Amino acid sequence: MLLTSVIIVLREVLEAALLLSILLATSRFMQLRTRWFYASLAFGVVGAVAYGNNLTAISNAFDGTGQELLDAFLQFAIYLLLLLIVPLMVINHHRGAYKRNLLQGAMLVAVAFAVLREGSEVYVYLSAFRTQPDLYSSVMTGALLGAGIGFSIGALFYYLLLGLSRHYTLLLAGILLTLVGAGMCAQAAQMLIQADWLPAQAPLWDTSALLPEGSLPGQLLYALVSYEATPTPIEVIVYSVSISLMVLLLGFTHYVSRSYRQNLPEARAH
């Protein structure tokens, strides 16, 4: 049970920890207030407990597919928020203080949703062993180890981004958030397949022999790019479209922002 708990909790914690560390690092570089960070954690934890305590009612909704649909909604919502956050980061890089309240608000909601979703899974898992004291200590030990590993990896990404120059921090953050967002869309597609809202399909390939999903590298890739050893065609299409949409939006935003900067009176004077 200890090893199982490490893997389960690591899987849930790592994705939220990566998203949080990337957004927090870029927030520091853009000199934004970090109050949004503490508020997002508070809202996310409260939401996770409420979600876990009402899991039965949620699961029974929509003919027994309520949990899958809610998870898919949260994943798509985070991606849509990233479609707002990443371009705003680019605009702020070129123009300075631009709609910072909107940017901080979008970061707050995105992290709160991520903590809610991942935290609820951990809460439900740990709650299932409360009445089994012979297993609970091993489960809790494994959960703490898994959470520690997950947050440590998130901290490494945070300090890695802080150690770079402003330009490269925003560039790497944009790439990482694009991959994380596309991964969330792929996971949402998995939820919709489980809910029978999308058709089940045979996998395109199987890489479980080369890189098992349960391994630490597999868990890291799952959190970062939603790695799956046996993806279906729909998941690959959703993932590819999500990345393409973000890249096109970033390219357009970067072009418009640079044109705006070049047309400033100070730029023309030089």
pLDDT tens by residue, 208-229? 888 888 787 887 788 777 788 8
Residue 146 and residue 2 in contact, taking contact as beta carbons nearer than 8 Å: no
Say what the pTM is. Answer: 0.90
Radius of gyration, CA atoms only, the chain: 20
Domains of the chain: 2-269 (1.20.1250)
Q: What share of the chain is helix, strand, coil (3-state, %, to 5)?
A: 80, 0, 20
Question: What residues in the chain have per-residue pLDDT under 50?
Answer: 267-270
Quick count: other Cβ atoms within 10 Å of Cβ 79? 23
**DSSP-assigned states of every residue in 38-97:** HHHHHHHHHHHHHHHHTHHHHHHHHHHTHHHHHHHHHHHHHHHHHHHHHHHHHHHHHHSS
The sign of the torsion formed by the CA atoms of 142, 181, 85, 158 equals positive
CA distance 134 to 147: 21
pLDDT of residue 137: 87
Residue 220 and residue 153 in contact, taking contact as beta carbons nearer than 8 Å: yes
